[in-house]
């Protein structure tokens, strides 16, 4: 396939996340082209905007997508609906050999954080983008664990209440469970915990994430700090608003005053505290909605690499 050919993609879900992703594909993508926008509400702004931009649309869900004349050209589909709906969407798309990128917490396919493990799953027919909190914080847990063993990692994601739509609110339990599992599986921690806070402050605040890691005693603070700084720069390469809010903080937890970690037991060592801020790009959503922006940015980054890997496009 020549360099000037782009891979047609479909977006299922014409809400905030799907619409923002559509604009990112059309403005920023090097290898992708919008093939279809799919929704279930004919009056949704996402479908109306897609029509104005000349993108094929359907308000009949995944069944309507399959009926579109250009469906045969669709190679990648993003699912930005809900965990409950994703299972059927995936089943339909897999029958037609369409690569699926799941932005819901369904986790049918492997968890993927572009800077952590995308290369391991380039051949997977379905990849899961974890959660917004996972995309923001798991790279930091991984940055610590690649230097020193992490007994426990806890993340607190604080997002503006106005940036949490019906889909986010309906999937709060899935958010915490999926993120906690991914902290262990991808981040490398022995035990993980995730907390999400919907902040009602006015004016709305930019997404903030706090990451706490308890690493083994004697871990190299300088090496951990460098690993974190390097990882933050890598994430910022596809999420420009991603940044460390302040320098990494270290605290020694003494053996005679250990932390009691449920499921792990009493542990001492080096506590690492990381404070992040994620500002959205403002493509479709407000700048404070970094929680949505990081999901669409990560999904786009994954799709770009999949396009290169699957369709022999120049990187």
Contact 280, 287 (CB under 8 A): yes
Helix axes 172-185, 132-145, angle to 10 degrees: 20
Please tell me which residue in 17, 34, 103, 132 is annotated as part of the active site.
132
Helix H or strand E encompassing 20: helix 16-28
DSSP 8-state symbol, 204: P
132 in active site: yes
Strand, helix or coil for residue 280: coil
Residue among 314, 289, 25 at smallest CA distance from 165: 289
Rounded Cα distance between 268 and 103, Å, is 36
Strand, helix or coil for residue 150: strand
Backbone angles phi, psi at 91, to 5 degrees: -60, -45
Residues identified as active-site: 132
């Amino acid at each position: 396939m020549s360099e000037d050919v782009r891979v047609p993609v479909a977006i299922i879900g014409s809400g905030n996340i799907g619409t923002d992703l559509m604009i990112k594909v059309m403005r920023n993508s090097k290898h992708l082209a919008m093939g279809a926008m799919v929704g279930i509400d004919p009056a949704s702004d996402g479908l109306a905007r897609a029509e104005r931009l000349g993108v094929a649309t359907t308000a009949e869900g995944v069944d309507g997508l399959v009926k579109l004349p250009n469906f045969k050209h669709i190679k990648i589909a993003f699912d930005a609906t809900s965990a409950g709906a994703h299972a059927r969407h995936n089943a339909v798309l897999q029958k037609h050999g369409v690569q699926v990128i799941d932005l819901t917490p369904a986790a049918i396919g492997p968890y993927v954080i572009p800077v952590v493990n995308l290369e391991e799953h380039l051949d997977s027919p379905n990849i899961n983008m974890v959660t917004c909190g996972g995309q923001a914080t798991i790279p930091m847990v991984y940055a610590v664990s690649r230097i020193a063993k992490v007994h426990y990692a806890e993340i607190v994601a604080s997002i503006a209440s106005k940036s949490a739509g019906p889909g986010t609110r309906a999937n709060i339990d899935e958010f915490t469970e999926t993120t906690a599992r991914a902290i262990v599986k991808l981040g490398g921690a022995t035990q993980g915990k995730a907390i999400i806070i919907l902040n009602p402050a006015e004016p709305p605040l930019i997404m903030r994430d706090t990451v706490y890691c308890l690493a083994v005693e004697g871990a190299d603070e300088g090496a951990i700090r460098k690993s974190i700084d390097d990882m933050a720069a890598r994430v910022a390469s596809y999420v420009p608003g991603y940044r460390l809010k302040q320098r990494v903080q270290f605290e020694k937890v003494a053996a005679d005053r250990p932390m009691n970690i449920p499921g792990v037991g009493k542990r001492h060592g080096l506590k690492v505290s990381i404070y992040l801020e994620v500002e959205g790009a403002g493509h479709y959503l407000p700048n404070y909605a970094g929680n949505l922006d990081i999901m669409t940015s990560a999904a786009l980054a994954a799709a770009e690499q999949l396009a290169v890997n699957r369709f022999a496009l120049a990187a």
